[in-house]
Structure formats: C-alpha cells, structure tokens
Amino acid sequence: MSVTAVVGAQWGDEGKGKLAHILGSSHDLILRYQGGSNAGHTVIADGTTYKFKLIPSGILHEGKLNLLCDGVVVNVLTLAEEITGLRERNQFRGELLISRHAHLVLPLHCMQDVYFEEAKGKRAIGTTRRGIGPAYADKYFRVGLRAGDMLKDNFGHRVREMARRKNVLFTGYYGQAEVDPDQVWAQVEPTVEILAPLVGDSTKVVRQALADGRKILCEGAQGTLLDIDYGTYPYVTSSHPVSGGALLGTGLSWRDLDRVVGISKAYTTRVGAGPFPTEDLGEEGERMREAGAEYGTVTGRPRRCGWLDLPLLKYASQLSGFTELALTKTDVLDDLAKIKVCVAYQSNGETITWPDLDPDVLEKCTPVYENLTGWETATTAIRQEADLPSAFKDYIRFIEDYVELPVSIISVGADATATIFR
Ligand code: IMP
C-alpha cells in the first residue's frame, strides 16, 4: 500500500502522534495536511519523550522526508523555534519541506485569537489561542501570507501591511492597543533565514514520490468531531481533520489513498467548550483523567473525560472511509469493573443512532449505555493478542461489531513498544 492516512476519530488527542511514529517507520514521506501548532504530538521512543507541534516525528529518522503541505498553517515563530531546538539536540535527522502554499500564522493572528476569545466571554470556543482560526480566516478572505511569500523581496512590506490592517480591527472592534508594524516585522524577520530555504513545491514532490512508488503517510491533526464542517460547529477547529482534508491539503487525489486508519481512544476526551454527550463529570471521569494523564499537550488544560461514544465513532468512520481502527489508551480502563459504552441517544423521546452534531441538539441528547464487564487486569506489558484478558477481547469485539470495522492496532501504553498489531 503506498498511501496511508492516520485520522483522528474523536475530538483530537487520540494518540495520532504515537501511531504516526510507528507507521512512519515503514513510510518514506510523512505529510501533515491541516491544522498548525494547535496540535501537540507526544512520542515516547527509546526512553525519550519528544513533543512536536508542527513537524512530523519522522524528522527523527534519517532518509524520511517530512512535509508541511498546502493545507497546514505554519506559525513562523513556533516552527523556527522547533527547528532550532531539534538541530541543537541533534534530532533533526530527516528532511523537512514546507509547502509554498501553506499559510503563515504571525503573532498578529495569535493576538486576534485571544481578543476574539475574550470578546466572546461565556460563548468562547476555548481555542488553543495559537492563531489558527484567524490565519484560516485570512486565507479564505484571500488576504493571507503564504510560505512562498517569504521568498519574495516585498515580504517585510506585506507583513507590515498586514499589521496595519489588523490594527483597524484591534483598535476599532476589540478596543485593544495598536501594534507597531515595525516591531511585528522585527519578530518575524529572523525566522525567514531559517524557514525560507525549506520552502518548495510540495505538491510536485508528492506527485513525483507517487510516480516513484514511494510510500506516503498522511498524519492528521485534531479529530473528526473538530472538523469545520462535520464537527460540532462552532466548537471546532478551522480545518478538515477528516480524510478528505488529507486530499485537499496535500495534492493527493482520492485514487491515491489506500488505507485510512481511524484512531480512537478506548474512551473519549475533549478539550475546550462544546457538547460532549458521554462526558463523566463524576469520580470515574476524574479517574480516567488521572490514569490517562489527560492534560493538553499544547495548553496544559485538563481534558474533559467520558465514555466511548459508538454512534459518533461510526459517524467518523463513515465520513473518512476508515479501513480499520486503532484503539488507544485501553490501559486507562484496566482498573474498572464495569465499562460503559454509548450505543444510541435518547433525543426528543426517540432513540437515535445517527448523531446530529448541532451543539443545541447534541447537548440535549441522553446517551443510551451498554454496561460491559471490565477486565480488571494490568495490560500495559502485554504484546500478544492471545495474552489479553477475555473481557478485554469482548470489549474490542463489541466495538468492531458496532462500527463494522476491524481493530487492527491496540495501544496499551504510551511507549512505542506498548502496541499490539492484530
Ligand atoms: P483552535 O484549533 O485553536 O482554534 O481551537 C478550536 C477547538 O479545537 C478548541 O476546542 C480546542 O481545544 C480544539 N483543539 C485544537 N487543537 C486540538 C488538539 O490538537 N487536540 C484537541 N483539541 C484541539
């Protein structure tokens, strides 16, 4: 199989970083197709913990080409810092290419994100404040700056021009102080030297790689339920985490995609505001947060925790055409005697299985649970399917039957080796 996509099936944080790292070892190119430094990937390999914001973890390996493709938004300060840090630690071993079409996130976008969130008050989305929404808004308003613009002589002029335009918004709409366009440029200018040599035509590179029979891995960020169109709008991110985003964001076509691995935790988490039908606000939710270290990689915020929601998982599977599932963090449930799984909702007196993601509707849905028997056994050291407790296997089978997909990978711990391939 030449092209595989790894797609988040929930509200992000499903463990895509670990999976992409494992699958990446058998691929030549690793592509990010959407999102920006709102994503945080933690990879634990060889006893070392690596935290990535923008660069795929393939950068740790010689001979791997890592691409930030057309659909990504690149925070110039964050990326320059990430590259410099990796180089200083001798971890910048692969290659990195930034699409000339990728839009840039400047400090101005981060400020706008904060002002916007503060102005919304109680209705705030709970963004990561990394300027993602404002950068995509500028892209679609056709006033954004792209990585390719860094190669042009007038880049400094255009950054200052953008600062002047944002000032109208900052002072007039948000009642904030003006920024000094020269100061903004002074922040951005040093990044050009680091980033500009890495900018190129990523679509051409991707098409050539396909023609040469090289293997490509598309690494999603966030998850299906945060998709701008298919998620719980407006409590979503501003890009397309679904597999369609991997096509729009890279220059691949649907003909090229062979395998789509949907990634889901064995339970559910969400950061930020928005509906979450299976959220457990009691002791068990708290237990999942502590056992699963459910605190945001980017912002450190505690994640909201709850039970696996199968109608939403099936919805995600259908939207992205998952060919299989990877189930992560199953070990977090190791202690539980009973495990709840949502199989339907009660909505307006009816039992439904097709979710309506309109927040006003979804938050009024009451989950219908099946109570499954827990395995109450420590599983993190298990590496063979045959050694898994039978209640654990029943849990997997229950999910497979509902979603009508095989669970091909089970992650029983944070380390790359704590993985069972079936
Ligand atoms: P934004 O992407 O920063 O605009 O945030 C929009 C929503 O997506 C907020 O609810 C964030 O908490 C959520 N979000 C963005 N990136 C991630 C992620 O990588 N993991 C989990 N949630 C995320």
* Predicted confidence (pLDDT) per residue in 189-220, tens digit: 999 999 999 999 999 999 999 999 999 999 99
Q: Is the per-residue pLDDT at 46 higher than 80?
A: no
- Going from the Cα of 260 to the center of ligand 1, the distance in angstroms, rounded, reads 22
Pick the range with the lowest mean pLDDT from 47-51, 117-121, 359-363.
47-51
HEC string of the chain equals: CCEEEEEECCCCCCCHHHHHHHHHCCCCEEEECCECCCCCEEEEECCEEEEECCCCHHHHCCCCEEEECCCEEEEHHHHHHHHHHHHHCCCCCCEEEEECCCEEECHHHHHHHHHHHHHHHHHCCCCCCCCHHHHHHHHHCCCCCEHHHHHCCCHHHHHHHHHHHHHHHHHHCCCCCCCCHHHHHHHHHHHHHHHHHHEECHHHHHHHHHHCCCCEEEECCCCHHHCCCCCCCCCCCCCCCCHHHHHHCCCCCHHHCCEEEEEEECCEEECCCCCCCCECCCHHHHHHHHHCCCECCCCCCECEEECEEHHHHHHHHHHHCCCEEEEECHHHHCCCCEEEEEEEEEECCEEECCCCCCHHHHCCCEEEEEEEECCCCCCCCCCCHHHCCHHHHHHHHHHHHHHCCCEEEEECCCECCCEEEC
pLDDT at residue 28 in the model: 97
- Going from the Cα of 154 to the center of ligand 1, the distance in angstroms, rounded, reads 33
pLDDT at residue 41 in the model: 84
Of 408, 404, 396, residue with least CA distance to 259: 408
418 lines ligand 1 (CB under 6 A): no
Q: CB within 8 A of 119, min separation 6: which ones? A: 174
The structural domains of the chain, with segments of one domain joined by +, span: 2-101+197-260, 104-195, 264-421
Q: Which atom of ligand 1 is nearest to the CA of 301?
A: 12
pLDDT at residue 42 in the model: 82
Q: Is the per-residue pLDDT at 1 higher than 70?
A: no
| Ligand 1 atom 15 nearest Cα | 38
- Confidence at 296, pLDDT banded by 50, 70, 90: confident
pLDDT at residue 282 in the model: 97
- Going from the Cα of 236 to the center of ligand 1, the distance in angstroms, rounded, reads 7
pLDDT at residue 413 in the model: 95
- Going from the Cα of 272 to the center of ligand 1, the distance in angstroms, rounded, reads 7
Pocket test residue of 41, 271, 301, 305 for ligand 1, highest count of atoms within 8 A of CB: 271
359 lines ligand 1 (CB under 6 A): no
Q: Which atom of ligand 1 is nearest to the CA of 127?
A: 5
12 lines ligand 1 (CB under 6 A): yes
| Ligand 1 atom 9 nearest Cα | 127
* Predicted confidence (pLDDT) per residue in 324-353, tens digit: 999 999 999 999 999 999 999 999 999 999
The average pLDDT across 347-369 equals 96
Q: What is the mean pLDDT of the chain?
A: 96
73 lines ligand 1 (CB under 6 A): no
The average pLDDT across 135-157 equals 98
Pocket test residue of 6, 78, 222 for ligand 1, highest count of atoms within 8 A of CB: 222
| Ligand 1 atom 11 nearest Cα | 127
Inter-residue long-range contacts of 357-363, CB under 8 Å, 24+ positions, other chains counted: 357/225, 357/230, 357/231, 357/232, 357/233, 357/315, 358/232, 358/233, 359/232, 359/233, 359/234, 359/235, 359/274, 359/275, 362/232, 362/275, 362/277, 363/275, 363/277
297 lines ligand 1 (CB under 6 A): no
The average pLDDT across 80-95 equals 95
Q: What are the catalytic residues?
A: 13, 41
The average pLDDT across 18-25 equals 92
List, in sequence order, every residue forming a beta bridge with 8; answer none if it has no partner: 263
126 lines ligand 1 (CB under 6 A): yes
* Predicted confidence (pLDDT) per residue in 281-294, tens digit: 999 999 999 999 99
Percent of the chain surpassing pLDDT 70: 100
Q: Which atom of ligand 1 is nearest to the CA of 271?
A: 12
pLDDT at residue 45 in the model: 76
d(CA 300, CA 322): 30
Judge whether 420 and 386 are in contact, CB under 8 Å.
no
Pocket test residue of 7, 114, 128, 227 for ligand 1, highest count of atoms within 8 A of CB: 128
Q: Is the per-residue pLDDT at 234 higher than 90?
A: yes
* Predicted confidence (pLDDT) per residue in 110-122, tens digit: 999 999 999 999 9
- Confidence at 298, pLDDT banded by 50, 70, 90: confident
Domain 264-421 grouped into CATH 3.90.1170.50: no
- Going from the Cα of 329 to the center of ligand 1, the distance in angstroms, rounded, reads 20
pTM: 0.96
d(CA 270, CA 273): 8
- Going from the Cα of 38 to the center of ligand 1, the distance in angstroms, rounded, reads 6
pLDDT at residue 290 in the model: 96
Domain 104-195: give its CATH code. 1.10.300.10
Sign of torsion over alpha carbons 314, 320, 324, 325: negative
pLDDT at residue 309 in the model: 98
pLDDT at residue 224 in the model: 98
13 lines ligand 1 (CB under 6 A): yes
Query: May I ask the CATH architecture of the domain 2-101+197-260?
Result: 3-Layer(aba) Sandwich (3.40)
